[in-house]
Structure 1
Amino acid sequence: MSTSSIIGNQCQPQSKSRPGSLLKHSFNALWLSDIHLGSKDCKAEYLLQLLRQTQTESLYLVGDIIDIWAMKRRMYWPESHNQVLQQLFIMARNGTKIIYVPGNHDEEFKAYAGFHLWDVSIAKEHIHTTLGGQKILMLHGDQFDSQVCVGKALTKLGDRLYDLLLLLNRQLHRVRTHLGYPYWSLASYIKLRVNKAQQAIGLFRAAVVCYAQDKRVDGVICGHIHQPELSQQGKIFYANDGDWVENCTFIAESELGELQLHKWDEQAKCSLVIASISLKRKPKSLKQQVA
């Protein structure tokens, strides 16, 4: 497997589409996490644009899709959030396989693991097989909190500070929109420059990769920490979806078998590939060749 970065790649249609069609993206698989529907910070409008112009064989929802925690504090459910759910159900009815792995903000759905509801399968974890034969484990990542957090007091303080950053983020976004500037995440910018945050991200990555090694898979895709990443960690490739609160990012497997980290471009109204891993096809075993 080789890793390459394609920062600043121009938005290009992923497959041919009929004249007049809005379809710009076609994937073998797509991973979304940390959408946080029901939260004021959810960028549902951008996600809806993506879903309406995307075709994919499999769609994986990797936790924190609905922010039940936020809605318990204050009920918030605008039409755009409802439209995202409706679009997901439309895709499921039209043949897209959708598997939902609940996280911590939507942990109530964990009780339904193993059930098939509204054309969506619910699971605690799931393994996706790529076009090249690699096994990718998908999980949300909240089960590793105890290996990352240094204490309940600091965890609660971190949550309060994060909420404050998101509040400032909303105000800044309104000003930038008024001035004609694209979306930019203040919260993400600050998080990348705080040593404690970087340490926590590293501990989380290490815990997820170690778990994937124990599961004997080729790679792992998770969410939870709102930090998009696609990297090679020894023999395991690590992918984090990021979120649709700060970063508007997702992971996809292209129809050519390449694993990609995408970021939504508000102005171009399509996604840009910001990192990729070329997945080599696994050689067939002697038994498979004889068969």
Structure 2
Amino acid sequence: MSSAQLARPTRKQRVRTLWVSDVHLGTRDCQAEHLAAFLKRYHTDKVYLVGDIIDGWRLRSGIYWPQAHTNVLRRLLTMSKRGTEVIYVTGNHDEFLRRYSSLILGNIQLVDEAEHVTADGRRLLVIHGDQFDVITRYHRWLAFLGDSAYEITLTLNRWLNHWRSRYGYGYWSLSAYLKHKVKSAVNFISDFEQAIAHECQKRGFNGVVCGHIHHAEIRQMGEVEYLNCGDWVESCTALIEHLDGSIELYRLADDQARLAALAAAKVAEAAAQPANAEPVL
């Protein structure tokens, strides 16, 4: 049984809001199966797609679109049909959609940024975040070059996890590991976080929900709550607002480890039962 199937509960969990970003549909490294399974787990009032959902940069050089990528869009359309409000916030990889900002199609909205008010009254700015990336804004050629190098790393990551899976190991992100080890990448993340938190505070928001840098995190930065959705390429992460307004960072790897531990505990419990034990009535 796949991890996506293991992650699928028998009943949907009721939550208030889901945020996902950096899905990069149209690329080989998109973890579309896991995302579709994740979305199917929840009954939610709103879903925010926080940019780079469709990778227009990659689709320019060739079409790659398996059924799993269509399934993600179908899942979102089904959720919209059943009453979930879907807010698509544009990013730099799907910037071709920015010309259609403010488009509303039933329960689906297309915007460049949004404001979300949590159940406990906090005002959050929801924005992809490429506007605060100096390389993306002012050195587009360098951004494209970096994107090509990143794709090579993800290819290595895909093969590594193929063999890890063959030998019974869980998912592990090589690219995320390298990103946290390289000083320049760590400094870039810090600069990005500081810039977006400063803008958020200047505009009077209590916090910001963003994506772009593929680094999921929830932390307090002065008076601003910084929440990054992460991605569905490397780490498979999302943000979940529960009915009381609390926000949780979901990680697929943690979920898989929890499910594996539960399965192991059940096996151990069954093995501990005497072979001739009668069931308890």
Asked whether the equivalents of residues 12 and 40 of structure 2 are also in contact (C-alpha less than 8 Å), the reply is no
Asked whether the equivalents of residues 136 and 143 of structure 2 are also in contact (C-alpha less than 8 Å), the reply is no
Give the aligned partner of residue 204 of structure 1: 192
Q: TM-score, normalised by structure 1?
A: 0.81
Against the structure 1 CA distance between its residues 200 and 150, is the aligned structure 2 distance closer, same or farther, given a 3 Å change threshold?
A: farther
Partners of 1:82 and 1:268 lie apart in 2 by: 28
Give the paired residue count. 252
Range moving further from structure 2, 158-167 or 65-74: 158-167
Tell me if 1:168 matches 2:156: yes
Give the aligned partner of residue 83 of structure 1: 71
| SS of equivalent residue, structure 1 residue 60 | strand
What letter is aligned with 2:60? K
Tell me by how many angstroms 1:163 deviates: 1.5
Give the aligned partner of residue 146 of structure 2: 158
Q: What per-residue deviation string (whole Å, max 9, x for no partner) do you get for residues 181-223 of structure 1?
A: 1111000001100000001001100111011012101000000
Tell me if 1:227 matches 2:201: no
Range moving further from structure 2, 116-125 or 89-98: 116-125
- Identity percentage over the alignment? 41
Partners of 2:258 and 2:107 lie apart in 1 by: 28
Tell me if 1:39 matches 2:30: no
Q: What per-residue deviation string (whole Å, max 9, x for no partner) do you get for residues 113-146 of structure 1?
A: 1111363101111001111111011000111122
Q: CA RMSD in A?
A: 2.2
Range moving further from structure 2, 47-56 or 110-119: 110-119
1:61 is aligned, of 49, 54, 60, to: 49
Tell me by how many angstroms 1:37 deviates: 0.7
Against the structure 1 CA distance between its residues 159 and 147, is the aligned structure 2 distance closer, same or farther, given a 3 Å change threshold?
A: closer
Alignment of structure 1 residues 99-114 onto 2, 5 Å: 99-114=87-102
Q: TM-score, normalised by structure 2?
A: 0.84
Tell me if 1:143 matches 2:143: no
Against the structure 1 CA distance between its residues 175 and 21, is the aligned structure 2 distance closer, same or farther, given a 3 Å change threshold?
A: closer
Partners of 2:113 and 2:72 lie apart in 1 by: 23
Task: Report which structure shows greater RCO (CA 8 Å, sep ≥6).
Answer: 1
Give the aligned partner of residue 245 of structure 1: 233
Give the aligned partner of residue 114 of structure 2: 126
Larger radius of gyration: 2
Partners of 2:9 and 2:155 lie apart in 1 by: 37
Gaps of 5+ in 1: 1-12, 14-19, 271-291
Tell me if 1:178 matches 2:139: no
Gaps of 5+ in 2: 1-6, 260-281
Asked whether the equivalents of residues 148 and 204 of structure 1 are also in contact (C-alpha less than 8 Å), the reply is no
Partners of 2:95 and 2:136 lie apart in 1 by: 19
Against the structure 1 CA distance between its residues 30 and 241, is the aligned structure 2 distance closer, same or farther, given a 3 Å change threshold?
A: same
Against the structure 1 CA distance between its residues 124 and 36, is the aligned structure 2 distance closer, same or farther, given a 3 Å change threshold?
A: same
Structure with the higher fraction of residues in helix conformation? 2
Tell me by how many angstroms 1:155 deviates: 4.1
Tell me by how many angstroms 1:25 deviates: 3.1
